[in-house]
Structure 1
């Protein structure tokens, strides 16, 4: 079977981004990053700027603690309004609406019995992902960290052990493209969530955080009316079954420290930097 050229391209690009994030403090050169990806410096610079909206050098600026602290300060005044009205405003990554539906208590206990989930693995510039979709919405989206498809699959099947699973990458590929902003959604993207009432409440709050913004765990706890439930909020954020679409990566410590991401701190930094870069690019701010 001939290798998918897009998949090869994405894997090379993801490797370069991982290298950039892991070595950002050393300011890796354009030539070094291009070599990791296997591209010429000119080609890599052009591809990176087209994908992120800014140059690799500017991207590094979004990976610092100081930048995270500035974002927290800037977003503090607008967070309450964004959460109250449920809109992400002009800083959305792309024209994508998201609506979520929680399964009933009976369905929760049934563990997916009677539900058909179509699934597929896909390469993206941010890493390889596993997605599961149903007629009622996307029920799973996770990263296969370091190519660990077996681990990602085990998590997925543990969440939906009684469901009928059908491998169907042809159906799931466009959903991934919409999730990462490469394709516009023709209609609202729906999520099918399996969680406790508290978890679903937290996930709904996360959906209302503007793209390109970051908030603290305290902010989320206040938004759901339980300001002292920080540990419970943290656990619910960590149990998010639909990464990216439910943006748990936008929650960080109040100090500005980026930590505790299910798929690793480097991946969380990449997502935040990518969203901030795309937001500035969409607003016409020079790269």
Structure 2
């Protein structure tokens, strides 16, 4: 959703989150935050509550180090998280939410040769995104910076799938957006991810799919899950190489000290996504 001046509501929300974090010691009130994003207090409270379902003050509580440390202590391992979400086994995570298919070794060597990718640019709860879809599933999702050039994201997708053929098809990709960002996915509406990566990267991305929405884990947790407990740095690299944002939830991996850390599509957006998910599930 975009305002009359062309600025999306999410860009204002992101600025507000950044301002609240930078000035948390002063505990700025609603009027101060609204002024910072050039809105009336009433208008800002309304758009933030519509977006998150809670007040800005309550939202910020989800992003404190103490709160996140508590969430980590509750999340001893990914299997326990899946069980807590009412899933009888790890495989049930895929049945209910997302299936993942990787390119074959031959396709990996050919860098996507012969694969048709339809793409489109769409507004999401976290700003403008680029979505790429093949007949075998969603193969790309990236967020654009507020002042970024859409062509740069398109170039990144084309570089990743550099021997594929690309066609813009807004109606086709639009049909996926609501389903991707819904917090009520069901077994009758499965989402399929189609990825290109090394065997190790694919194992890490599969582990990410086992993290239920509204929860966070550490890089060490993921390393243990893929049976490589000493490969924390390699896990971090694989998490950062994820090319399907949000759907493969690399944003749910944080540092063991409770710091959220960096994110390929901006650290502030990572805060926004984590807080939004926790608000939806009333963490």
Length-normalised TM-score, structure 2: 0.86
Superposition deviation, residue 260 in structure 1: 2.4
Structure 1 unaligned spans of 5+? 1-5, 90-94, 282-287
Superposition deviation, residue 245 in structure 1: 0.3
CA deviations over 1:172-214 (Å, ceiling 9, x no partner): 1231222211775652110101111110000000000111110
Distance between the aligned counterparts of 1:8 and 1:108, measured in 2? 43
Q: Does the C-alpha gap of structure 1 residues 100 and 11 become closer, same or farther in structure 2, counting only changes over 3 Å?
A: farther
CA deviations over 1:137-191 (Å, ceiling 9, x no partner): 0000011123322321221110011111111111112312222117756521101
Moved more, 221-230 or 110-119: 110-119
Distance between the aligned counterparts of 1:17 and 1:118, measured in 2? 30
- What does 1:127-138 correspond to in 2, within 5 Å? 127-138=127-138
Q: In the alignment, does 2:16 pair up with 1:14?
A: no
Distance between the aligned counterparts of 1:68 and 1:182, measured in 2? 21
Task: Give the secondary structure class of the aligned counterpart of 1:128.
Answer: strand
Task: Give the secondary structure class of the aligned counterpart of 2:263.
Answer: coil
Distance between the aligned counterparts of 1:68 and 1:117, measured in 2? 38
Tell me which residue corresponds to 1:260. Answer: 262
Distance between the aligned counterparts of 1:70 and 1:183, measured in 2? 25
- What does 1:36-55 correspond to in 2, within 5 Å? 40-55=40-55
Superposition deviation, residue 273 in structure 1: 0.6
- Whichever structure has more helix as a proportion of its residues is 1
Tell me which residue corresponds to 2:151. Answer: 150
Tell me which residue corresponds to 2:203. Answer: 201
Superposition deviation, residue 37 in structure 1: 5.7
Tell me which residue corresponds to 2:245. Answer: 243
Tell me which residue corresponds to 1:92. Answer: none
Tell me which residue corresponds to 2:282. Answer: 280
- What does 1:80-229 correspond to in 2, within 5 Å? 80-82=79-81, 85-86=89-90, 97-148=97-148, 149-181=150-182, 184=185, 186-229=188-231
Q: Does the C-alpha gap of structure 1 residues 263 and 253 become closer, same or farther in structure 2, counting only changes over 3 Å?
A: same
Tell me which residue corresponds to 1:66. Answer: 66
Length-normalised TM-score, structure 1: 0.85
Distance between the aligned counterparts of 2:157 and 2:75, measured in 1? 33
Tell me which residue corresponds to 2:86. Answer: none
Distance between the aligned counterparts of 1:246 and 1:171, measured in 2? 21
Is the CA contact 2:16–2:37 (under 8 Å) kept in the aligned structure 1?
A: no
Distance between the aligned counterparts of 2:242 and 2:126, measured in 1? 18
Tell me which residue corresponds to 1:24. Answer: 20
Is the CA contact 1:174–1:183 (under 8 Å) kept in the aligned structure 2?
A: no
Distance between the aligned counterparts of 1:172 and 1:145, measured in 2? 20
Q: Does the C-alpha gap of structure 1 residues 8 and 107 become closer, same or farther in structure 2, counting only changes over 3 Å?
A: farther
Distance between the aligned counterparts of 2:91 and 2:213, measured in 1? 10
Task: Give the secondary structure class of the aligned counterpart of 1:112.
Answer: coil
